Amino acid sequence: MTEGGATLEESVRQRARAKLAEADQLLRAVDEGWAPPPFDPLLVALALGIRCAPVAEPWLEDAMIFVQEGRPTILYRPERPRARTSFNIFHEIAHTLFPDYLSNPRYRHPRRPRLFEPEGRLEYLCDLAATEFLMPMDLFSADLKASGFGAGRAEALATRYGASLEAVCLRMMEVDAESCALVLVEPRRQLKRGEWRELERWMELPPQGGQRLRATYAVLSERFRREGLTFPTCLALGQRNCLDRAARSRKLVAGPERLELGRGQSQDFYVEALPLTTHPSRRGRVPVLGFFYPR
């Protein structure tokens, strides 16, 4: 799908960059201390003529935008984590790139519509724009080039942009600086023994004696794909694998791993396992992002 020769996604990013540049120019003119990043969403909204108001009402899960007395107004939950609040407000600002918010209030909450639904498509595009507001690609690319690609750089970039570690890592993959697979593993129900046997038979995997983990998602860089590599969502790893050690210790862990890809294929990787929080689940583990570099 294209718009004026550009993909719809790129067109939305361009609109977001134009809006941010408009706000940035005004804020630099009136505030000598304005030196982003991070980009303060409340100040950006103010510069764009959007009113923001914190609320603690239980009916509002994250944020919403509507028109009040002819002016766009965003309500948000201030007690949410700071990075999440920033993204939520930028997501609502992104709705002003589309005219429908003028007649229909828009809510941001964890229960998202499916991507193939019109509502889901709109929310997806607003997420793209919010990412551009929060971490402008030109600035982020320059910072990543200066610091280098890798899990060890994510925390500093998250601090610089006021973003979550997961959002920063996904942005790093968009820059596509390395041949890499980014994999999220969260504490949840593991496959039963019979389910693993069926999976091993279907993928033609050899029986594994180590630990088995399921990935919530895997994002592959373009360079990774060009090398003809695939990545399974069910990981059969050694007992002392990096992901599990990071999930238990809540510290960055790195090291080599050999991974069975299925259909008789295997691949050696260098893995950087980055825990996303220091607050463990009931099972004592935390979500982990794994950077898998083929060797």
Q: What local confidence, expressed as pLDDT, does residue 113 receive?
A: 47
Q: What local confidence, expressed as pLDDT, does residue 166 receive?
A: 95
pTM more than 0.95:
no
- Model confidence over 241-259: pLDDT tens digits? 999 999 989 999 999 998 8
**What is the mean pLDDT of the segment spanning 9-14?**
94
Q: What local confidence, expressed as pLDDT, does residue 90 receive?
A: 97
Confidence label for 54 from pLDDT (cuts 50, 70 and 90): very high
Confidence label for 136 from pLDDT (cuts 50, 70 and 90): very high
Sorted by where each starts, the structural domains of the chain and their CATH numbers stand as 2-134 (1.10.10), 139-175 (no CATH), 181-294 (3.30.450)
Q: Is residue 116 predicted with pLDDT exceeding 80?
A: no
- Residue whose C-alpha is closest to residue 46's, from 68, 14, 70, 24: 24
- Model confidence over 22-33: pLDDT tens digits? 999 999 999 888
Q: Is residue 275 predicted with pLDDT exceeding 90?
A: yes
Helices 154-161, 165-175: crossing angle, 10 deg rounding = 110
- Tokens representing 130 are 């919010």
Q: Is residue 5 predicted with pLDDT exceeding 70?
A: no
In the 8-state DSSP scheme, what is residue 163? -
Query: How many Cβ atoms from other residues are within 10 Å of residue 238's Cβ?
Result: 16
Q: What local confidence, expressed as pLDDT, does residue 117 receive?
A: 52
290 within 8 A of 269, measured Cβ to Cβ: no
- Residue whose C-alpha is closest to residue 214's, from 193, 189, 238: 189
Half-sphere exposure of 261 (CA within 13 A, CB side): 12
- Model confidence over 195-210: pLDDT tens digits? 555 555 545 555 555 5
More confident residue, 192 or 129: 129
Query: How many Cβ atoms from other residues are within 10 Å of residue 8's Cβ?
Result: 14
Confidence label for 231 from pLDDT (cuts 50, 70 and 90): confident
Give the chain's mean pLDDT. Answer: 85
